[in-house]
Structure 1
Amino acid sequence: MTWDQFPIFAVIALCFWGAGAISAWKGRHPGLTFGCTITGLLVFFAFIVSMWISLERPPMRTMGETRLWYSFFLPLAGIITYARWKYKWILTFSTVLSIVFICINIFKPEIHNKTLMPALQSPWFAPHVIVYMFAYAMLGAAAIMAIYLLWFKKEKKATQQEMDLCDNLVYVGLSFMTLGMLFGAVWAKEAWGHYWSWDPKETWAATTWVSYLVYIHFRLHRNRKHRMALSILLVSFVLLQMCWYGINYLPSAQGVSVHTYNLD
């Protein structure tokens, strides 16, 4: 399997995800929604597994490869959210976001080879990245909900049920982020001899983690101030983007951070 086959798998997966999103939006039989979405996930995951076998390493090294996982986890987070809370729009939003990342990977293909630096050959590398990508997808869904409630909802005020949905997405996302940080710390100890070194990536990860904690504590003690809480949630998501790929463009990280991706 090579990267040249990615558009084929991506288009097939998107067709199924789109059918599932339409089914959910129109309130049709839930079995059709779940069946289409899960089939699309299986098709997309088949490409990831094939790439894994072809590269003889987890496809997690380059930014394009992490976008591959994010494109997969967004619909997964969407179907989990839909299954739990039955928001009919969530699959549409998750599919649209997935399309964005898929298009970036199609129109800006990157070189994928079998070379993997020694530090990335740790058994902790794969679970660290996979757990983080799922956390990013859940927190991305929370950010989508916040944008909807702040600017697109017809009624000005968010309901408690809608705020509870944001809270639950953050709880799940932050839990997986915490687990990912723990995996990363064990990996760092094995690869570089220390659990934490305040590398630029680690600093932004800690800042993002604290920001989501601020949101949770604000909701616990100021649960009536919905707009302020949603604003904190969006600020946290911006920090998450800096943690994920923004540091690649920071002068302070160039030649210093062991986490920066090769942007060539």
Structure 2
Amino acid sequence: MTWNEFVWFALPAMLLWIAAGTLVYTKIQRRLIDLLMLAGIAVFVLFIVGMWISLERPPMRTMGETRLWYSFFLSVIGFLTYKNWKYNWLLSFSSLMACVFVCINLFKPEIHSKNLMPALQSIWFVPHVTSYILSYALLGAATIASFIQIKKQSKGLADQKLYQLMDNLVYAGFGFLMLGLLMGCVWAKEAWGHYWSWDPKETWAFITAAAYLMYIHMRLRRWHPTFTLWLLPIAFILLMITWIGVNYLPSAQGSIHVYS
């Protein structure tokens, strides 16, 4: 499986996800919606597995490869949280966001090499990247929920059940974020001899973690509910800078985290 075949898996997966996200607002049987969503996930997983076999390494090295995992985790988390919390919009928005990142990969294909630089040939490579991308998907879902809650709160209709959903997503996402960070520290010690170097990627990772920790603290204290809600979109922007934006900073070009 090569990147050239991606379109033949991406398009069916997106059509299935969009169909599920649209039909969820109709009176159609929920079982059909579940099947559509799961079928889209299965098609997408088939490409990831095929690419893993073709590359003879985990497809987690380039930005395009991590976007594959982000689309996958976002669709899975959106589906699971929808099944548990019964919010139709959560399935729709998570499906839409998964499709957005799939489209980015379609319009901006990248060269994928089988080779891994020595620093990436570590047992920490897969769990570190997986933990981070999973946290990004969880925190992305929490951000979607925060926008809905902000709208409700502006009308004096704050949803306590939605607060519970947001908090659970943030707790889980923050847990995986810190797990990925700690594994990265151990990996860095093995690869470069030190746990932390304060390069641009690490600095922004610290800022992002601090923003989510601030949200958790303020929610537990019940301080300034409106400002606390807006912390999630702000924190997610910081997360996107950490994941994608920092790679374009001039100071990051010599970073140990730039592998492409």
- TM-score tier (shorter): over 0.9
CA distance 1:176–1:229, shift in 2 (3 Å): same
Matching residue of 1:252: 251
State yes or no: 1:38 paired with 2:38: yes
For 1:58-97, list aligned pairs within 5 A.
58-97=58-97
Q: Distance in 1 between matches of 2:153 and 2:103?
A: 28
Residue 89 of structure 1 aligns to a residue whose secondary structure is helix
Deviation at 1:156, TM superposition (A): 4.4
Q: Deviations over 1:50-85 (max 9, x none)?
A: 111111111111111111111111111101211221
Q: Distance in 1 between matches of 2:236 and 2:111?
A: 29
Deviation at 1:29, TM superposition (A): 2.9
Deviation at 1:153, TM superposition (A): 7.7
Percent identity over paired residues: 55
Q: Distance in 2 between matches of 1:260 and 1:90?
A: 33
For 1:219-258, list aligned pairs within 5 A.
219-222=219-222, 225-255=224-254, 257-258=255-256
Instruction: Decide whether the 8 Å contact of 1:27 with 1:88 is kept in 2.
Output: no
Give the number of equivalent residue pairs.
Answer: 260
CA distance 1:239–1:154, shift in 2 (3 Å): closer
* Structure 2 residues without counterparts, runs of 5 or longer: none
Q: Deviations over 1:27-49 (max 9, x none)?
A: 54332222221221111011011
Q: Distance in 2 between matches of 1:127 and 1:27?
A: 41
Q: Distance in 1 between matches of 2:50 and 2:239?
A: 29
Residue 6 of structure 2 aligns to a residue whose secondary structure is helix
Instruction: Supply the AA of the counterpart residue of 1:260.
Output: V
Q: Give the root-mean-square deviation of aligned CA atoms.
A: 1.7
* TM-score of the superposed pair, with normalisation by structure 2: 0.94
Q: Distance in 2 between matches of 1:192 and 1:157?
A: 52
State yes or no: 1:198 paired with 2:198: yes
Matching residue of 2:117: 117
Q: Distance in 1 between matches of 2:259 and 2:192?
A: 18
Q: Distance in 2 between matches of 1:191 and 1:261?
A: 14
Residue 115 of structure 1 aligns to a residue whose secondary structure is coil
Instruction: Decide whether the 8 Å contact of 2:152 with 2:159 is kept in 1.
Output: no
Deviation at 1:199, TM superposition (A): 2.0
Matching residue of 2:11: 11
Q: Distance in 2 between matches of 1:240 and 1:180?
A: 13
Residue 130 of structure 1 aligns to a residue whose secondary structure is helix
Q: Deviations over 1:166-197 (max 9, x none)?
A: 11110111111111112212221221122222
For 1:211-222, list aligned pairs within 5 A.
211-222=211-222
Matching residue of 2:210: 210
Q: Distance in 2 between matches of 1:157 and 1:193?
A: 53
* TM-score of the superposed pair, with normalisation by structure 1: 0.92
Q: Distance in 2 between matches of 1:154 and 1:26?
A: 27
Q: Distance in 1 between matches of 2:41 and 2:186?
A: 30
* Structure 1 residues without counterparts, runs of 5 or longer: none
Q: Deviations over 1:195-241 (max 9, x none)?
A: 22222111111111111010011011125x33111111111111101
Q: Distance in 1 between matches of 2:210 and 2:27?
A: 38
Instruction: Supply the AA of the counterpart residue of 2:233.
Output: L
Instruction: Supply the AA of the counterpart residue of 2:84.
Output: R
Instruction: Supply the AA of the counterpart residue of 1:242.
Output: I
Poorly superposed stretches of 4+, deviation over 6 Å: none
